[in-house]
Amino acid sequence: EDQVTQSPEALRLQEGESSSLNCSYTVSGLRGLFWYRQDPGKGPEFLFTLYSAGEEKEKERLKATLTKKESFLHITAPKPEDSATYLCAVLSGGSYIPTFGRGTSLIVHP
Amino acid sequence: SQTIHQWPATLVQPVGSPLSLECTVEGTSNPNLYWYRQAAGRGLQLLFYSVGIGQISSEVPQNLSASRPQDRQFILSSKKLLLSDSGFYLCAWSVKGDTEAFFGQGTRLTVV
């Protein structure tokens, strides 16, 4: 059974304090790993898709990386508007269904 | 470009009443469609998914059902709501293949 574990569950940062969120996975045949951002009361917003180890994607202050066992979402010099819950999901084997982690709640203080 | 519409945004229903939540996708054809429920601190729980018209798969037994009467329309229903059906319901779509899913804005359902 596929497992996706995100850590930490919650993270508080000061504005400008860079950090990383972790998504570790145990799957049989990774076909894709996805990162989402979710604001309170809203649906998840797609950020990145990674397909193979060594791949990196960037968008503004966010950079996602992938290894054979985990993915990191690096946040450089975060701002208060980066506060949200960040979700990771994987697609593996022959399934149509992505498996989601429980997310990391990020709060950035001004 | 593709868009997904989900309504209503909020809903308060009495126990025992019926439910119908609708989701439509524009700008694509033959998408995979999904219904999720999200409880606070518990992540996304897949309820139903569909790979085509009239093809519905259920992940968990429950008081809910789903239908896909048209290619880009997905409906979540219940004949009689329970208190435990309260939650945040999300519709999502993806193209066929190893691609990301895109979510609607969600429906906050409160059963009273």
Tens of pLDDT along B1-49? Answer: 889 999 999 999 999 999 999 999 999 999 999 999 998 767 899 999 9
pLDDT at A50 over 80: yes
Calculate how close chain A gets to B51, using CA atoms only, in Å: 8
The Cα–Cα gap between B84 and B104 comes to 22
B83: phi then psi, degrees, rounded to nearest 5: -55, -35
Tell me the pLDDT of chain B averaged across its residues. 92
A42 touches chain B (CB under 8 A): yes
> Which of B43, B59, B103 lies at the smallest CB-CB distance from A43?
B103
Give the mean model confidence (pLDDT) for residues A59-74: 97
B84: phi then psi, degrees, rounded to nearest 5: -70, -5
Calculate how close chain B gets to A23, using CA atoms only, in Å: 14
Q: Which residues of chain A lie closer than 8 angstroms to B106, CB-CB?
A: 41-43
A34 touches chain B (CB under 8 A): yes
A94-109 pLDDT, tens per residue?
787 899 999 999 999 9
Which residue in A47, A59, A97, A104 has the most chain B C-beta atoms within 10 A of its own C-beta, making it the best mutation to test that interface?
A97
The Cα–Cα gap between B90 and B94 comes to 14
> Which of A97, A101, A103 lies at the smallest CB-CB distance from B49?
A97
Cβ of B43 within 8 Å of Cβ of A100? The answer is yes
Shortest CA distance from B32: residue in chain A: A96
A17-33 pLDDT, tens per residue?
999 999 999 988 899 99
Cβ of A32 within 8 Å of Cβ of B42? The answer is no
Q: Which residues of chain A lie closer than 8 angstroms to B93, CB-CB?
A: none
Q: Which of A25-34, A90-99, B70-79 has the lowest mean pLDDT?
A: A90-99
B6 touches chain A (CB under 8 A): yes
